Amino acid sequence: MWKEEVIDLKISRFFEVSARALLCLLIIAILLAILAGVIYTFYDIRLIFRTDFHGAFKTIMVDMLTVLAIVEVLRTALAYFSEGRVKVTYIIDTVMVTVLTEVMAFWYKDMEWEKIAMVIALVLSLALVRIIAVRFSPRRLREEL
């Protein structure tokens, strides 16, 4: 019985060390993606002088919101690295920023009312889930006890 516990402990320790090593590589990749996104956003500033303002600003805004979505992914990875668990609120924030990026990308296009209603329902449901996740957080429940 004791030998099985030692083997289980070694396997779980190996998994933890491996996950942290891979997470370090992922964080480096995310930081490089953020840097590339910022550089690409500054590169797209040239569009202001070459195309119409609305198209140029829409492109720049989508670039910035995409970088912010990647920053939210970084927050999620760092939270897992420091706390050993993924915070649901960070994931919901990431999805909300991504959805809003898509909404901004289609801002000037004609969309059917069904698609607009679906996006509104998605954003409202994500907001509701985020409120529930904050209200019934494990940390908050422990503080109330």
Domain count, the chain: 1
Please, are residues 34 and 70 in contact by the beta-carbon 8 Å criterion?
yes
4 lies in some domain: no
1 lies in some domain: no
96 lies in some domain: yes
2 lies in some domain: no
What's the mean pLDDT when you consider all of the chain?
Answer: 83
The structure tokens listed for 22 are 């891979």
107 lies in some domain: yes
* pLDDT, tens only, 112-131: 878 878 888 988 998 898 88
Rounded (to 5) percent helix, strand, coil in the chain = 90, 0, 10
The structure tokens listed for 68 are 């912010």
- Residue 119: what pLDDT? 83
86 lies in some domain: yes
Its domain, for residue 70, covers 10-137
The string of DSSP codes covering 99-135 is HHHHHHHTTTS---HHHHHHHHHHHHHHHHHHHHHHH
**Structure letter (DSSP) for residue 36:** H
- Residue 61: what pLDDT? 85
42 lies in some domain: yes
* pLDDT, tens only, 24-75: 999 999 999 999 999 999 999 998 888 888 888 888 888 888 898 899 888 8
Can you tell me which residue has the tokens 């964080």?
27
40 lies in some domain: yes
- Residue 141: what pLDDT? 61
Cα separation, 115 vs 1, in Å, equals 59
What is the model's pTM?
0.71
